[in-house]
C-alpha cells in the first residue's frame, strides 16, 4: 500500500522552511560582513584591528590603503580608561 500524497505535503513545507531560513541566515551574514566570508576564531589582535578598521573606514571589514589617516583620526584614541584595584 502506498503513502497518500497528502502525508508528504507537511514534509515539503518543513524542508522549504529550513531552506528559507538557511538562505536568510546566509544573506544576513553576507550583508553584515560586506560581502566577505564571516570571521571565526577571532583573538584580541583581530578584535583590535577590527576596531581600528571601524574607526578608519566606518566598517568592521573595510580596509584603507591611504598612507595618511583621515582628518580627526588622531582624536579617536582606542585606549580605554581602566580602573586600578590597588
H or E element, residue 13 = helix 9-32
pTM of the model: 0.60
Please write the tens of the pLDDT for every residue from 45-86.
Answer: 988 888 888 888 888 888 888 888 777 776 666 666 666 666
pLDDT per position as a tens digit, 5-34: 888 899 999 999 999 999 999 999 999 888
The Cα–Cα gap between 80 and 64 comes to 24
Cα–Cα distance for residue pair 48/79, rounded to 1 Å: 10
Select from 35, 80, 24, 86 the least CA-distant residue to 60. Answer: 35
Q: Rounded to an integer, what distance in angstroms lies between the CA atom of residue 25 and that of residue 35?
A: 13
Amino acid at each position: 500500500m502506498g503513502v497518500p500524497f497528502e502525508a508528504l505535503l507537511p514534509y515539503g513545507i518543513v524542508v522549504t522552511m529550513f531552506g528559507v531560513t538557511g538562505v536568510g541566515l546566509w544573506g544576513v551574514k553576507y550583508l553584515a560582513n560586506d560581502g566577505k566570508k564571516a570571521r571565526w576564531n577571532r583573538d584580541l589582535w583581530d578584535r583590535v584591528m577590527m576596531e581600528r578598521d571601524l574607526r578608519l573606514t566606518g566598517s568592521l571589514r573595510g580596509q584603507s590603503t591611504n598612507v595618511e589617516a583621515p582628518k580627526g583620526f588622531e582624536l579617536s584614541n582606542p585606549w580605554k580608561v581602566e580602573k586600578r584595584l590597588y
